[in-house]
A and B are shown apart, each in its own frame.
Chain A
């Protein structure tokens, strides 16, 4: 499986400069308009989208066919994609935090203090959770519809988690549960677990789709 991860990292490495440039451009635009916090989350989400690009590269060179002749199974291939996604998201929020904090200080949107450092680190954590949740939705979509259609369906991977959150919110309202700061804190503390369960479900769906596919190209 290490080989599969390495392959994706080498492939995407070629696009790293473009991604850095995009993050810089976004930094200028987003920090000014929406603040450093939004930028950090956006950087993670942007980098999570690169997982779809790795599928496009794979399609171009018929990689999946070759991967399956290596000593790996279909589950390993899917697992590697999720690991690569987490790597992309982690790099995204780390770079986003560095750019965001630097940009925030330069643009005077941020004051250097212990409180702001903790807030930024917390936002990086939230950004990681959000981008992993969004990104992991795109993987089964790409397995089902292919890299090209999957790219177009990326919106779905944003809409579905948001819709689920909205439905949960509505249900809580229906039962008269008040959204207090304490509840938000509990949800945030539980968010890694929620993300893990979400990723596991997406992994199982991806495995199920991929296992039924014939890999001839």
Chain B
């Protein structure tokens, strides 16, 4: 089984939001970045994957099995949410004891090493720790039961760049150990650019694409041009567009094709953040332009 996690047609409806047939897979030994604007459905997807909310339709399989089929599956999954889930009067030492009682695979020496590495004092109450240190404690707890899959929901949000770099390094180390994978939801796209192998983009509850990051960087491009040139563009070549003053920004999904087809334009390489902005803030060729596309 090469895929650690397979999600197929995951659907969940709320009164004002629908997670609509979300499908993607995470291959062994890779980091999958889940991106999207706030409210796009990233956390709903993760909650549904983890069985915290009941899905209406679809399947979620870890190593080919449903999550509720065996407690052993949960032993192999480490999860870090956007804050610490232990009460503020607990200490790292007590957190370790609670987790040790929960997981058969708990490795106290690994936990101890993480505490030392993160300079976390065993007897210090959680309420006295900074946000970054709390996050490190959550990561230490998640990694010390030897999981094979790490699920992170906005785990790096609200941390300073130094702290984020430290944490990303730990994730990279985790994946380098054979067969480990990470599903990482974040709206800090630069983090994902650094570590992700695949990117799944969720927008308004739907998966816009799920691709290798290298393919995205290779294929996607941004064209900046004036109105007269924009009018000449074949709408089928445009994924999204946005007007900024007199300039038109055009997102294309095939950089090479665009370069060959439109000789007078410069096609720039695009960042994931640019891409996200274009999809979220820009207009689609098959949609009527709406006001937010015109800045």
B147 to chain A, nearest CB (A): 10
Given A10-B94, A70-B74, A214 and B84 contact (CB-CB distance below 8 Å): no
Q: Is B97's CB under 8 angstroms from A6's CB? A: yes
Q: Does A2 contact B (CB under 8 A)?
A: yes
Q: Is B81's CB under 8 angstroms from A66's CB? A: yes
Chain A residues, Cβ within 8 Å of B85: 61-63, 65-66
User: Chain B: how many interface residues by the 8 Å CB criterion?
Assistant: 32
B276 to chain A, nearest CB (A): 24
Q: Does B184 contact A (CB under 8 A)?
A: no
Q: Is A70's CB under 8 angstroms from B81's CB? A: no
User: Chain A: how many interface residues by the 8 Å CB criterion?
Assistant: 25
Chain B residues, Cβ within 8 Å of A2: 101-102
Q: Is B88's CB under 8 angstroms from A61's CB? A: yes
A128 to chain B, nearest CB (A): 26
Q: Is B77's CB under 8 angstroms from A3's CB? A: no
Q: Is A70's CB under 8 angstroms from B97's CB? A: no
Q: Does A160 contact B (CB under 8 A)?
A: no
Chain B residues, Cβ within 8 Å of A14: 89
Given A63-B86, A69-B79, A214 and B54 contact (CB-CB distance below 8 Å): yes
Chain A residues, Cβ within 8 Å of B51: 68
How many angstroms from the CA of A216 to the CA of B89 in the assembled complex? Answer: 22
Q: Is A71's CB under 8 angstroms from B98's CB? A: no
Which residues of A22-64 are within 8 A (CB) of B? 57-58, 60-63
Partner of B87, one of A60, A65, A69, A216: A60
Closest A residue by C-beta to B72? A71
B52 to chain A, nearest CB (A): 5
Q: Is A69's CB under 8 angstroms from B74's CB? A: yes
How many angstroms from the CA of A58 to the CA of B88 in the assembled complex? Answer: 10
Partner of A68, one of B50, B94, B98: B50
Partner of B81, one of A60, A62, A71: A62
Q: Is B75's CB under 8 angstroms from A216's CB? A: no
Chain A residues, Cβ within 8 Å of B104: 71
Chain B residues, Cβ within 8 Å of A216: 43, 47, 52-53
Q: Is A71's CB under 8 angstroms from B89's CB? A: no
Chain B residues, Cβ within 8 Å of A69: 50, 52, 74, 77, 79
Q: Does B63 contact A (CB under 8 A)?
A: no
Partner of A3, one of B54, B89, B99: B99
Closest B residue by C-beta to A13? B89
Closest A residue by C-beta to B73? A71
Closest A residue by C-beta to B85? A66
Q: Does A11 contact B (CB under 8 A)?
A: yes
How many angstroms from the CA of A136 to the CA of B144 in the assembled complex? Answer: 35
Q: Does B90 contact A (CB under 8 A)?
A: yes
Chain A interface residues (CB < 8 Å from chain B): 2-4, 6-7, 10-11, 14, 57-58, 60-63, 65-66, 68-73, 214-216
- 3 nearest A-B pairs in the assembled complex, by CB-CB distance: A66-B85, A3-B102, A3-B101
Chain B interface residues (CB < 8 Å from chain A): 43, 47, 50-54, 68, 71-72, 74-75, 77, 79, 81, 83-90, 94, 97-104
A-B contact pairs, 6 of them (CB 8 A): A3-B98, A60-B88, A68-B50, A71-B75, A216-B47, A216-B52
